[in-house]
């Protein structure tokens, strides 16, 4: 065992090490820490609700006849500040991401495997910036056309949105997996 190893941080994550140790890391960021996610917000929501919460779990999977595989489970949760395209009022769906990402050595192998796998496959790097990965996933989870289920006046709406988000937090992700996005 080496000593004095740098501590794992979200902006310098050693995925291979996390997977080898079966370790986890979690935390939360302010929206302002994620520039692309910040730019995608079109309405203001309560600052507390706007925090992006995340957790990663490393895992080594042993496959007969092959080198052990490096996997990362990525979970993130954030309330988006969007604008309803029907009534143009703020729309704040709760987005939840729960993805397994496999890491392999080299871009070429990653691209080849990613093409015929349902899972995300990325090239392993010594220090992954987790913020970029979480931003990517949150942007993908955002509805392409943000819209209330029911555009009633705000006084009647608050409770309904929380319920709708709880009912089907993975709707956006499921729609993505089902086929190409329709713009
Ligand atoms: Zn609306």
Q: What tens digit of pLDDT does each residue of 18-44 get?
A: 999 999 999 999 998 999 999 999 988
pLDDT class for 154, splitting at 50, 70, 90? low
Residue 19: CB atoms within 10 A of its CB come to 22
- C-alpha 12 to ligand 1 mean position (Å): 40
**Mean predicted lDDT score pLDDT of the chain:** 84
Per DSSP, which regions of 80-172 are E strands?
A: 82-83, 90-91, 94-104, 120-123
Does 21 fall in a domain? no
Encode pLDDT of 43-57 as tens digits: 887 666 679 999 999
49 in any annotated domain = yes
Domain limits for position 161: 27-54+77-178
- Residues 91-127: tens digit of each pLDDT: 999 999 999 999 999 888 899 888 888 888 999 998 9
Domain assignment of residue 60, yes or no: no
Q: What angle do CA 159, 162, 164 make, to 5 degrees?
A: 105
Question: Is residue 6 domain-resident?
Answer: no
Instruction: Give a yes or no: residue 20 inside a domain.
Output: no
Per the structure block, which two tokens stand in for 7?
Answer: 């501590």
pLDDT value for 4:
62
- Which pLDDT score, from 0 to 100, does residue 183 have? 45
Does residue 9 sit within a domain? no
Centroid of ligand 1 to alpha carbon of 72 (angstroms): 36
Looking at the 3D structure of the chain, how many domains does it have? 1
* pLDDT value of residue 146: 95
Beta carbons of 156 and 96 less than 8 angstroms apart? no
Q: Does residue 103 lie within any of the structural domains?
A: yes
Q: Assign residue 171 a region: left if phi > 0, alpha if psi is -120 to 50, beta otherwise?
A: alpha
Report CA(171)–ligand 1 centroid distance (Å).
Answer: 18
Distance of CA 147 from the midpoint of ligand 1 (Å):
5
Does residue 61 fall inside a structural domain? no
Taking the C-alpha atoms of residue 176 and residue 181, their distance in angstroms, rounded to an integer, is: 6
46 Cα to the center of ligand 1, angstroms? 18
* Pairing label, strands 94-104, 90-91: unpaired
């Amino acid at each position: 065992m080496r000593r004095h190893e740098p501590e794992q941080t979200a902006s310098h994550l050693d995925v291979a090490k996390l997977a080898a140790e079966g370790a986890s890391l979690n935390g939360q960021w302010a929206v302002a820490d994620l520039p692309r996610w910040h730019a995608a917000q079109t309405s203001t929501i309560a600052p507390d609700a706007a925090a992006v919460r995340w957790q990663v779990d490393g895992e080594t999977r042993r496959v007969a006849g092959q080198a052990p595989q490096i996997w990362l489970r990525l979970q993130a949760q954030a309330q988006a500040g969007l604008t309803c395209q029907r009534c143009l009022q703020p729309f704040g769906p709760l987005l939840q991401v729960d993805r397994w990402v496999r890491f392999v050595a080299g871009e070429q192998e990653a691209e080849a495997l990613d093409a015929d796998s349902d899972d995300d496959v990325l090239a392993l790097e010594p220090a992954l910036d987790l913020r970029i990965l979480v931003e990517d996933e949150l942007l993908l989870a955002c509805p392409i056309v943000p819209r209330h289920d029911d555009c009633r006046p705000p006084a009647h709406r608050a409770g309904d949105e929380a319920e709708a988000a709880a009912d089907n937090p993975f709707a956006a992700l499921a729609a993505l997996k089902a086929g190409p996005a329709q713009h």
